[in-house]
Structure formats: C-alpha cells, structure tokens
C-alpha cells in the first residue's frame, strides 16, 4: 500500500541520510518515477525533504528532523524473528515486512545504538544453506506458511520415495535445517515431518483445527532428529586415522566425526589415533569411509573391514586394466597397429 511505502521512504531517509532516487527505488522495489511522486507527496504532507543537485546529490531530510511513527504491524513484528535470515524470510513471503520492521526498529533506536546496529549488519551475515548444494525449489512454501499461521487444514499431494500420496494435514510448524525447509504436520493422529520441496500441490481448506495440547515445535524437532540419528547410525566403526584424516573426519561426518576425534585415544609416533565412529548401514558406510582414502584404516567390525577390502580390490582390478567400451577398444587398436 502507498501509505506503507511512504513511511518506508521516510524511514530510509531518516536512517541512512542522503539517498538518490535510483537507490530509493531499488530499496522500495518501485520505479524511479514512483519515487519522484512519493517525494512530492511527503513534501506536500509537511515532511521537510530537501533535494541536493549534482553528482553527490540526492534526497535528504532537514537536519534534526526525526519521525516517531515507528509502530510495528503484527507481521512486521513476527518477521523480526527471521532478521538474521533474509533469504528464508523472502521464501516465506515476509521479505517486505522484514525490511519495514528493521527500518522502524532502527528509527526508534538512539543514535549510538542505531550506529552499532549498522556496524553489526555490515560485519556479520548469516547464510543458512549448506555448501555445494542448490536450494530446494519450494513453490508452495508461502501457501504452507500461511496455513501454519492461520491454523488451516491442507489438502496435500506429496511425493514419497515409494510413490505419491494425498493427505489431509494439520500444519503445526516449519523448520529450516541446512537450507532445507521441512513441514511438521499432524496426519492420521500422528505428527510427521515432510520435506517442503516434495509437495506437488497443496490446497488450503477453509476449516481450521486445534493444535495438539502441549505440542512444542522445538522439542518435537529435537526428539525427531534424535530418533533419525539413532536409526541411521546402525553400527560403530573402529578406525585408525592419520593427522590429515583427523582433520577430514569432521568435514566428512559432521558432528559425529567431530565427537569421534575429540574422544580419540592417544596418538602413536606417527600421529595416527584410534577412535570409534557411528556409521550407517554397511553399504552406506563403505562409500562414506572410502572418501577418507588412504588417511584411514578400518579395524572393525570384521564384516565392514571385509566389505571395504572387497570394494577396494574390485576398484583396483577395474583400474588396472585399459578402459572398456568402444572408445577404449579404438585406442588399443590404434596402439597395436603399425
């Protein structure tokens, strides 16, 4: 709405000082012509906006002028909880509310604290997604978030590894973990977790629902991830690790690897240590442990060591021979010829 935009324009000039029309247009996501009209509207309403001409020109407020129109709307106040994660705020449809809330909060601060807030913003930035992975496409996230806010039933079409299903969900909360959005929802009298990118379609029903008595999203998430961790880590591997392997393990195995290194036994003369590492199923563990290369030796359990030995033997046999297939055959034919 124009009233909200005029207030945001006023707060931008108050918080940042002189700004050009293109800079204001970029911040407000409007055209430069709209900025000109809004500046005229502010002046007509009695706000002392000055226009400085020249290369260093722009718009600014008369020295000493400050507005106290800094009341937050409900959505703006709620968006402050995402102040450290502007990307997720945009995905939830709260990007504009977050920007407006931050402007109002900064305008309400004393000058010294406002300067400190600007320094923090300039020096620290939270980037939620994990490295080397594209963000999940989440076209239905904003609609799901609205259903969470309004406590409305969702009729959902969801893709599972075993096939597609349709569910009536009671959405209880959203969680952002490692750059991936998850919906926690009640379905068929059980609370489950759904990856938001796997929703093929959602429809918000007009009917509301009652949240389960005593349900706390953070507590559920902690318990749920604990169960998942216990289910995934089905056995414990005994390893010898080189000094480089000790640095690689937390990078390859996350928190479990970091804990294993911290609890490792004393190093031998060459710097190698022995430790115990929770791993997933044998097939998954073989692939994960091979990523450590020659910096690790699996001591046990025997079946895991044997599986690794068989895999390494097969790889050695494969790479000891010339490449198979049409291109490899042509290469050998060319080498054998006159």
Q: How far is it between the farthest Cα atoms of the chain? A: 94
Note the pLDDT of residue 130. Answer: 57
The answer on pLDDT for 120 being more than 60 is no
The answer on pLDDT for 333 being more than 60 is no
pLDDT (average), residues 173-194: 86
CA distances from 67 to 71, 99, 103 (A): 11, 18, 12
Percent of the residues in the chain that have a pLDDT greater than 90, as a whole number: 34
Note the pLDDT of residue 141. Answer: 87
The pair of structure tokens assigned to 98 is 């977050």
- How confident is the model over 198-214, as pLDDT tens digits? 999 999 999 999 988 88
pLDDT (average), residues 136-165: 89
Alpha carbon distance 179, 141 (integer Å)? 13
Note the pLDDT of residue 337. Answer: 43
Using N-to-C axis directions, what is the helix angle for 111-123 and 95-108, rounded to 10°? 140
pLDDT (average), residues 91-116: 55
Note the pLDDT of residue 332. Answer: 46
Q: Which of 41-45, 172-176, 189-193, 321-325 comes out lowest in average pLDDT?
A: 321-325
Note the pLDDT of residue 82. Answer: 43
Mean pLDDT of the chain: 79
- How confident is the model over 80-95, as pLDDT tens digits? 444 445 555 555 555 5
First to last CA, the chain: 81
Note the pLDDT of residue 91. Answer: 57
Say if residues 155 and 168 touch (Cβ distance below 8 Å).
Answer: yes
Determine how many CB atoms are found less than 10 A away from the CB of residue 200. Answer: 12
pLDDT (average), residues 96-116: 55
* pTM over 0.75, yes/no: no
Percent of the residues in the chain that have a pLDDT greater than 70, as a whole number: 72
Note the pLDDT of residue 117. Answer: 52
């Amino acid at each position: 709405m124009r009233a909200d935009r005029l207030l945001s324009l006023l707060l931008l000039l108050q918080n940042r000082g002189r700004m050009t029309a293109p800079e204001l247009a970029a911040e407000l996501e409007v055209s430069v012509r709209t900025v000109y009209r809004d500046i005229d509207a502010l002046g007509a309403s009695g706000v002392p906006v000055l226009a400085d001409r020249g290369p260093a020109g722009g718009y600014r407020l008369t020295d000493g002028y400050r507005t106290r129109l800094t009341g937050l709307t409900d959505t703006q106040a709620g968006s402050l909880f995402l102040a450290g994660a502007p990307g997720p705020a945009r995905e939830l449809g709260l990007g504009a509310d977050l920007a407006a809330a931050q402007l109002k909060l900064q305008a309400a601060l004393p000058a010294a604290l406002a300067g400190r807030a600007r320094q923090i913003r300039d020096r620290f930035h939270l980037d939620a997604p994990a490295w080397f992975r594209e963000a999940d496409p989440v076209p239905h996230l904003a609609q799901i978030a609205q259903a969470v806010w309004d406590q409305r039933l969702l009729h959902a079409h969801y893709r599972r590894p075993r096939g597609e299903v349709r569910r009536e969900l009671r959405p209880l909360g959203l969680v952002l973990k490692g750059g991936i959005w998850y919906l926690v929802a009640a379905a068929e009298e059980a609370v489950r977790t759904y990856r938001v990118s796997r929703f093929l379609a959602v429809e918000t029903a007009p009917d509301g629902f009652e949240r389960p008595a005593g349900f706390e999203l953070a507590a559920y998430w902690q318990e749920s991830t604990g169960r998942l961790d216990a289910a995934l880590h089905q056995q414990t591997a005994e390893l010898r690790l080189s000094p480089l392997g000790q640095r690689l393990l937390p990078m390859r195995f996350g928190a479990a690897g970091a804990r294993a290194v911290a609890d490792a036994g004393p190093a031998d003369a060459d710097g190698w240590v022995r430790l115990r590492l929770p791993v997933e199923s044998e097939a998954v563990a073989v692939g994960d442990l091979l990523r450590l290369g020659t910096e690790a030796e699996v001591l046990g359990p025997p079946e895991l060591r044997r599986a690794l030995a068989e895999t390494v033997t097969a790889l050695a046999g494969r790479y000891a021979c010339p490449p198979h297939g049409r291109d490899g055959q042509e290469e050998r034919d060319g080498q054998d010829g006159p």
